[in-house]
Amino acid sequence: MQRTKIKELLTGAEVGNDVLLKGWVRTKRGNKYVNFIAVTDGSTIQNLQVVADAEKFPEETLKDVTTGASVAITGELVASQGKGQAYEVIAKTIEVLGKADPETYPLQKKAHSLEFLREIAHLRFRTNTFGAVFRVRNTLAFAVHKFFNERGFVYMHTPIVTASDAEGAGEMFRVTTLDLDNLPRTDEGKIDFEEDFFGRATNLTVSGQLEGELAAMAFSDIYTFGPTFRAENSNTARHLAEFWMIEPEMAFYDLKMNADLAEDFIRYVIRYAMEQNREDLEFLAQRLQEEDKAKPQQERQEMTLLEKLEFVVSNQFERITYTDAIDILVNSPAYKKKKFQYEVAWGVDLQSEHERYLVEKHFKKPVIVTDYPKDIKSFYMRLNDDGKTVAAMDILAPGIGEIVGGSQREERLELLTQRMDEIGIPTEEMWWYLDTRRYGGCPHAGFGLGFERLVQFVTGMGNIRDVIPFPRTPKNAEF
């Protein structure tokens, strides 16, 4: 007999037939007449209930059917009498494929804290919460490709190991072919990096943007979607050392078109997840509501997770300039009451607390902040006519802060090299980048969106460690 996944069995198409299901035991409960075994196989948040008659399956035969054990079960799929589920299986055979010792298996019936589950990240996929989160993550990843593919973007793979430092997008991990136990030394006793990466110093990529720009100058519209590394030696709820970034780059785009695309993109992927993962999102919403009950009134969410997502897909984001943002912040009650830890002043970058104030307290919706002072942004952003600001944009989301950073790029060779000279970036080393301006340069723009921050936003998970299967944070790299 062919195995059928539980998601499919729960559509009821096989009612009256004998079916084979395989999965893991969630719970077993019963009395002297009958046992109910809840089985999951990860295809849906729903368990399938298996009914095992006690006469046919005496206590002894079910002793290894415990939480976490893997099982293969055959039986008839029938409409369920009980409330809660529409269908169930009346067992004919039950085989335990792999036992899970109840004495040691860490995931027993009780609810576990997210902190505890982080320590057993190799098993946490098996919980309802992480099952839901990673199914949503999967859908969002698919939606990323779907969105760009429908718009004729070329999926471009940019390098992971690179000699470029993307001009300070983040702290880098070095990649080396040096024998670390036997380091070559210069005459002065320093490590001889000439020997690094077969003679070249290299890093793990912090952004694929600069390479992406090269490709956009040939295909018009491209995107990257791949792992990105930043040696963030800090413990925040929104930074990982290894994360996935989506970086579209478009020729013949200005900042407004860039912002429009980013907004369309975010709405599209959220809407897709709402269609595909309704049950998972309902479960996660419920989870958040439970969490909220433990909080003081003023810290509770005004909207449920689904209301928030619905709101985002059906309302325009607010758009303001950086200068407006500073204005709002210095005139805010929070500023007057000295609630901000960090300085607010024109020319100083916004911190997470400021970003969150703007989206959560002031506008109560996602905000696109544009036209930042040139000195706090990267060299490649296009200088505005005022000579002080650049055509940059950050998209800020409630509960998170920055989820997107983007800009229109400086396509004017002279202004670009002038800016590089000003901040001491050697133009000779970047000859390949400048070639795109020398030969057929054109206005172009793009952005980077942290995939995990998007997953955080959609699932409502507070900590970025809980939306990536294997989080890489300081000292955390074992599995």
Q: What are the helix (H) ranges across 277-317?
A: 278-293, 305-314
Handedness of CA 422, 428, 434, 440 (dihedral sign): positive
Tell me, rounded to whole angstroms, the distance of Cα 191 from its chain centroid: 38
Kindly tell me which residue out of 100, 240, 392, 416 binds ligand ATP, with binding defined by CB under 6 A.
240
Which residues make Cβ contacts (< 8 Å) with residue 195, sequence separation at least 6?
Answer: 177, 178, 184
Nearest CB to ligand ATP, comparing residues 50 and 449: 449
Alpha carbon distance 203, 384 (integer Å): 32
> What is the identity of the amino acid at 14?
E
Instruction: For the sheet with 202-204, list strands across it.
Output: 161-162, 202-204, 174-175
453 binds, among Mg ion, ligand ATP, none (CB under 5 to 8 A by kind): ligand ATP
Q: C-beta of 395: minimal distance to ligand ATP in Å? A: 8
Question: Is 243 among the residues that bind ligand ATP (CB under 6 A)?
Answer: yes
Instruction: State whether residue 313 is helix, strand or coil.
Output: helix
Kindly tell me which residue out of 453, 457, 465, 473 binds ligand ATP, with binding defined by CB under 6 A.
453
Nearest CB to ligand ATP, comparing residues 245 and 416: 245
Which residues make Cβ contacts (< 8 Å) with residue 439, sequence separation at least 6?
Answer: none
Stretch that binds ligand ATP, among 68-76, 238-246, 285-293, 412-420 (CB under 6 A): 238-246
Kindly tell me which residue out of 68, 75, 450, 471 binds ligand ATP, with binding defined by CB under 6 A.
450
Residues in 176-215 at the binding interface with Mg ion, rule: CB under 5 A: none
Nearest to 215 by CA among 207, 206, 224: 224
Categorise residue 37: left if φ over 0, alpha if ψ from -120 to 50, beta otherwise.
Answer: beta
Kindly tell me which residue out of 68, 212, 248, 405 binds ligand ATP, with binding defined by CB under 6 A.
405
Name all contacts of 348-354 with Cβ < 8 Å and 24+ positions apart. Answer: 348/376, 349/376, 350/322, 350/325, 350/394, 352/236, 352/238, 352/401, 352/402, 354/325, 354/329
Kindly tell me which residue out of 26, 137, 230, 382 binds ligand ATP, with binding defined by CB under 6 A.
230
Nearest CB to ligand ATP, comparing residues 88 and 249: 249
Question: Is 249 among the residues that bind ligand ATP (CB under 6 A)?
Answer: no
CA-derived radius of gyration, the chain: 27
Kindly tell me which residue out of 366, 405, 443, 446 binds Mg ion, with binding defined by CB under 5 A.
405
Nearest CB to ligand ATP, comparing residues 75 and 448: 448
Categorise residue 50: left if φ over 0, alpha if ψ from -120 to 50, beta otherwise.
Answer: beta
Question: Is 221 among the residues that bind ligand ATP (CB under 6 A)?
Answer: no
Stretch that binds ligand ATP, among 47-55, 187-195, 216-224, 446-454 (CB under 6 A): 446-454
Categorise residue 220: left if φ over 0, alpha if ψ from -120 to 50, beta otherwise.
Answer: left
| C-beta separation of 304 from 285 below 8 A | yes
Q: What number of chain residues touch ligand ATP (CB under 6 A)?
A: 17
450 binds, among Mg ion, ligand ATP, none (CB under 5 to 8 A by kind): ligand ATP
Q: How many CB atoms lie within 10 A of CB 78?
A: 15
Q: C-beta of 348: minimal distance to Mg ion in Å? A: 13
Q: C-beta of 378: minimal distance to ligand ATP in Å? A: 8
Place of tokens 């539980």: 6
Q: C-beta of 368: minimal distance to Mg ion in Å? A: 13
Question: Is 213 among the residues that bind ligand ATP (CB under 6 A)?
Answer: no
Kindly tell me which residue out of 404, 420, 458, 461 binds ligand ATP, with binding defined by CB under 6 A.
404
26 binds, among ligand ATP, Mg ion, none (CB under 5 to 8 A by kind): none
Question: Is 248 among the residues that bind Mg ion (CB under 5 A)?
Answer: no
Q: Could you give the string, one character per residue 290-329, with x where binding to ligand ATP holds by CB under 6 A and - elsewhere?
A: ----------------------------------------
Cα angle for residues 269, 275, 281 (degrees, 5° grid): 90
Stretch that binds ligand ATP, among 85-93, 330-338, 437-445, 450-458 (CB under 6 A): 450-458
Pairing between β-strand 48-53 and β-strand 87-98 as defined by DSSP bridges:
parallel
Kindly tell me which residue out of 52, 96, 305, 403 binds ligand ATP, with binding defined by CB under 6 A.
403
Tell me, rounded to whole angstroms, the distance of Cα 32 from its chain centroid: 47
Question: Is 169 among the residues that bind ligand ATP (CB under 6 A)?
Answer: yes
Place of tokens 């800009």: 407
263 binds, among ligand ATP, Mg ion, none (CB under 5 to 8 A by kind): none
Beta bridge partners of 450: 245
Lookup: tokens for 289: 């509501």
Kindly tell me which residue out of 48, 245, 326, 455 binds ligand ATP, with binding defined by CB under 6 A.
245
- End-to-end distance of the chain based on CA atoms, in angstroms? 36
Q: C-beta of 439: minimal distance to ligand ATP in Å? A: 27
Alpha carbon distance 234, 51 (integer Å): 50
Question: Is 239 among the residues that bind ligand ATP (CB under 6 A)?
Answer: yes
Kindly tell me which residue out of 165, 232, 360, 410 binds ligand ATP, with binding defined by CB under 6 A.
232
Residues in touch with ligand ATP (CB under 6 A): 169-170, 230, 232, 239-240, 243, 245, 402-405, 448-450, 452-453
Summarize as ranges the residues that interact with Mg ion (CB under 5 A). 402, 405
